[in-house]
Amino acid sequence: MILRFLKNWTLPVAMLTGALAYLLARELPLSPDAKERMLGGVEILQPLLLFVMLFVAFCKVSPKALKPRRWHAWLLLTQSILFAACCAVLWLCPDTGARLVLEGFMLAIICPTATACAVVTQKLGGDSATTTAYTIMINLAVAMEAPLLLPFAHPHEGLTFLPAFVTIIKKVFPLLMLPLLLAWLVRYCMPRVHRMILSTRDLAFYLWAVALSLAIAITVRALVHTEESLWHVAAIAGATLVACVFQFAFGKWVGGRYGYRMEGGQAMGQKNTIFIIWLGYTFLSPVSATAGGFYSVWHNVVNSWQLYKKRVEELKD
């Protein structure tokens, strides 16, 4: 009974576990140095889990299936235009009182698709190859567009395109392209290993659940340590909720016109929220980085609901 519950509600359990784990660790009678070492361990473990999860997921995707689709172009264009519009507003009105809220919204818009999108798409019975292709495209697009426009939205001394581009590429490449290249190497050079990996059914999904717990723990830490007013924090939460609902709905609408309704929603709505937090801290402000934490909650609530509906449909069949 307990195992069935955990299997059916993996994502909510993972989110709750991550939040409680951080709050418990915060109350432990440990020195600041010990807590910093714990945080350092989490920061090492999380990308390692994501790397393995992506490797397993990419092993199940044929390189021939990673071809561009028309709906990819519409989603890329929409995200790019909305991000550029937000940057233009912040450039023209640098002293606006809504700066933090607008920054949070634009981070939620331009953030690339989550590396776990293919895993969830597969779990929902969709075509994971199309979402994998979009994940690669949007990450490369963000690596070009973000360093080009962020200096206008939030000027920093010495922040120019090339150093910002290199910083983002160093963040994106190891956790996206290396697992993909390794998966192709295994597919063509180690067929036995490849067949063994293909035999694992939900390994990537459960690895992602563990990574999600760690992400939520980091998110709760960022929210606990923020010094911004409750009003601003609530406004950022509202802005990211609007961004989440819009992107899932718009992605499904565009994808549906080409026969990829669920895939379009996942590709545009499921975000790499750790990247949002990192992008906010690195190029904008610690407060706007909390957008990643709120978006992590919203898009995982949507995913949990979709997985629940999928189970209900399977039981009816």
What separation in angstroms does the CA of 161 have from each of 3, 142, 150, 200? 50, 12, 9, 42
pLDDT of 259 > 80? The answer is yes
Both tokens of residue 235? 């406004």
Q: Per mean pLDDT, which range of 77-91, 109-123, 259-273, 277-291 is the poorest?
A: 277-291
pLDDT of 209 > 90? The answer is no
pLDDT of 246 > 90? The answer is yes
Closest CA to 248 of 204, 301, 309: 301
Residues 113-130: pLDDT tens digits? 887 788 788 888 888 889
pLDDT of 152 > 90? The answer is no
- Residue whose entry in the numeric block shows the structure tokens 């399977």: 314
Of residues 212 and 103, more confidently modeled: 103
Residue 196 and residue 121: Cα distance in Å, rounded? 21
pLDDT of 108 > 80? The answer is yes
- Residue whose entry in the numeric block shows the structure tokens 């983002």: 168
Average pLDDT value for the chain: 80
pLDDT at 251: 94
Task: Give the pLDDT mean for 255-267.
Answer: 92
Residues 158-184: pLDDT tens digits? 666 677 777 777 777 776 678 878 888
Residue 107 and residue 283: Cα distance in Å, rounded? 11
